[in-house]
Amino acid sequence: MCGITGYLCASTPSLACERVLAPMMQAILHRGPDSSGHWCDPEVGLALGHLRLAIVDLSPAGAQPMVSASGRWVLCFNGEFYNHRQLRAEIEATGRAPAWRGTSDTETFLAGIDVWGLRETLDKTIGMFAISLWDRENRVLYLVRDRMGEKPLYYGWQGKGEQRTLLFGSELKALRAHPVFEGDIARSSLVEVLRHGNVGENRSVYEGIGKVRPGEIVMIEAQSSKVKKDFYWNGAEIAAAPKPPCRDDAKVVDELETLLLDAVGQQMMSDVPLGAFLSGGIDSSAIVGLMQHLSDRPIHTFSIGFHEARYNEAEFARAVANHLGTHHTDLYVTDQELRDVVPMLPMMYDEPFADSSQIPTFLVSKLAREHVTVSLSGDGGDELFCGYGRYAHASKLRAKLAAMPAPLRSLGAGAIRAIPAGALTTALAPIIPTPQGKEPIGQRLHRLANYARQPDLESLHRTMVSVWRFPEAAVPGAHHPPSMLSDHLPPRGDLTDIERMMQLDMLTYMVDDILAKVDRATMAVALESRAPLLDHRVVEFALSLPEDQKLRGNVTKWALRQVLYRHVPKELIERPKMGFEVPIGLWLRGSLKDWAAALLDPARLRREGNFDADLINRLWQQHLSERFNWGAQLWNVLMVQAWLDTLDV
């Protein structure tokens, strides 16, 4: 696991390459503290920088940037090619293998390109990666991202005239360190952060800077500056493709276990200590169970525990660890220790990011890094095997609403919305009290009324995953950017309602929230995280299954559970899904009140001009009154405000 960065600018003198590149590399040193390297092509003004976290082939023979044996290609990448040993065997079978200099996956990938070309090599590769590849012969720069979007890669043009430069890197910090970086904030991205808590899809918080999409190849011609894009793997189309004939339950479970054993086995490839995150839930327990099945010694597992019983899964994780015989470490943290992470978040996440579970994710990553350099996780299970409760909830709600005449449905929803939420809460509080830290009943009823008014499934899903219903109202003059959730919906094919929501989450929420959260948290402590459930073969298999083999009655993740139960007793797993919900609403009225008040100060908001100061202040005062809980909405604003403070650092 590493960090990459670089630039392409014909007017940059060759002698300035190292001087310009050095601060870009220094900005992401945390991603690769073991060693660094750079490579320049002075004729075209190309520079590649690499920060190495050595995982496979720790010798200098694995160092990057690396030039292919043919001399044509220069590779600088972040990630791992898990099946590189098999690829080596295939290359050797062609009779065109180079004289191998080492055992790294970097060298294998370059040799594959020499033999098969980039596209075919990518098709053969199993892994997670963000690639910068320079074709010295045709003077073309390729930027490539793995199929599921596990590894980030930002890029874009900055500067004008002769100074116009293509910048790229694993994190925005690296791009910001280049002298031509402009840093104009895309106000539409602030609307997106309020709605979803992140900047999604192919965008960033900065004008002119975007992200390579999962499964995408971006080609930049050095001479003409032309940019071409193509997908070598398209998850949207694969999810919408017709499904194969239904398979017998037992066969499906056998095939899934075989696939997962191979994926987990490949991802256990490491020349450094390796372990796994273990929450005691279905996904992480399945991965740990398979890891321990494949290992001849106890694997290391890690959990974060909480003293509040309603949040704490550590005891369940330890029970699973004890059954499997892992070497388990858990750390119980206090509210204060959680809150101490908050000031670190804006720099860690590089652009506004407001999923509060980023806090425990960082803490468990920090714990794991004290013992190992690589940690496997169960990320992807909810989106691929139907784990989120909102899927069944939305499907049932749609069925109930469909039974009601549309005018009656609209009238009922409108009547609820016509009564102020605060008045509803006052009237109903004696009957339906609000649990500590939760939404008052008035807000909940307004939210349900909003759901009832949605004309189709896609609108309902978008409403359910939105923190702010109308975020444009809080960002004067800005509009939500075109989105896969509204403006350019992916193909649906014959997907059921539940399958459609899973498809949309896989393409948006999983990539831009879950995987971004894990990447930044783990890389902040130089820990490599791997997700076997996101092996593209597992993904394609999961997408081929009918809904009934994912959600059966009220049982979520049915097929994955059956694999898990072959390794962990059912009684250790069967319990309501907990997840982790940071009590942001309570904190903002308590220990974080002064911090939040300074960031939400109306005078500051008016001076900066990013948000409607009166609207934000009204929500803040309502929240402090305890008659409303706007904790989630305010947290998204606060993460923008705290991030803005880092721009002056």
Which residues are catalytically annotated?
A: 2
Strand partners, 50: 4, 37
Which structure tokens are listed for 40? 């320049």
First and final CA of the chain: distance in angstroms?
27
Q: What are phi and psi of 302, to 5 degrees?
A: -140, 140
Asked if residue 605 lies in contact with residue 616, where contact means CB atoms within 8 angstroms, the answer is yes
Pairwise CA distance, residues 383 & 28, whole Å: 30
For residue 405, what are the contacts with CB-CB under 8 A and spacing of at least 6? none
The response to whether 295 counts as a known ligand-binding position is: no
Asked if residue 290 lies in contact with residue 284, where contact means CB atoms within 8 angstroms, the answer is no
The response to whether 105 counts as a known ligand-binding position is: yes
Using the structure block, give the residue that is written with the tokens 């190495």.
52
Asked if residue 589 lies in contact with residue 582, where contact means CB atoms within 8 angstroms, the answer is no
The response to whether 377 counts as a known ligand-binding position is: yes
- The DSSP code sequence of 374-431 is EEE--TTHHHHHT--HHHHHHHHHHHHHHTS-HHHHHHHHHHHHHS-HHHHHHHHTTT
Asked if residue 536 lies in contact with residue 233, where contact means CB atoms within 8 angstroms, the answer is yes
The response to whether 28 counts as a known ligand-binding position is: no
Pairwise CA distance, residues 157 & 167, whole Å: 6
Asked if residue 290 lies in contact with residue 567, where contact means CB atoms within 8 angstroms, the answer is yes
- Please report the sign of the dihedral spanned by the C-alpha atoms of residue 42, residue 48, residue 52, residue 54: negative
Cis peptide before 65 (omega within 30 of 0): yes
Q: How many other CB atoms are found less than 10 A from the CB of residue 185?
A: 18
For residue 22, what are the contacts with CB-CB under 8 A and spacing of at least 6? none
- In angstroms, the Cα distances linking 36 to 21, 29, 225 are 12, 9, 28
For residue 140, what are the contacts with CB-CB under 8 A and spacing of at least 6? 134, 219, 220, 221, 222
Length of the chain: 649
- The DSSP code sequence of 26-93 is HTTGGG-BSEEEEEEETTTTEEEEEEE---S--SGGG-SSEE-TTSSEEEEEEEEETTHHHHHHHHHH
E-strand ranges in 254-314 read 274-277, 300-306
Pairwise CA distance, residues 507 & 389, whole Å: 18
- Bind-site residues for ATP: 304, 377-378
- Bind-site residues for L-glutamine: 105
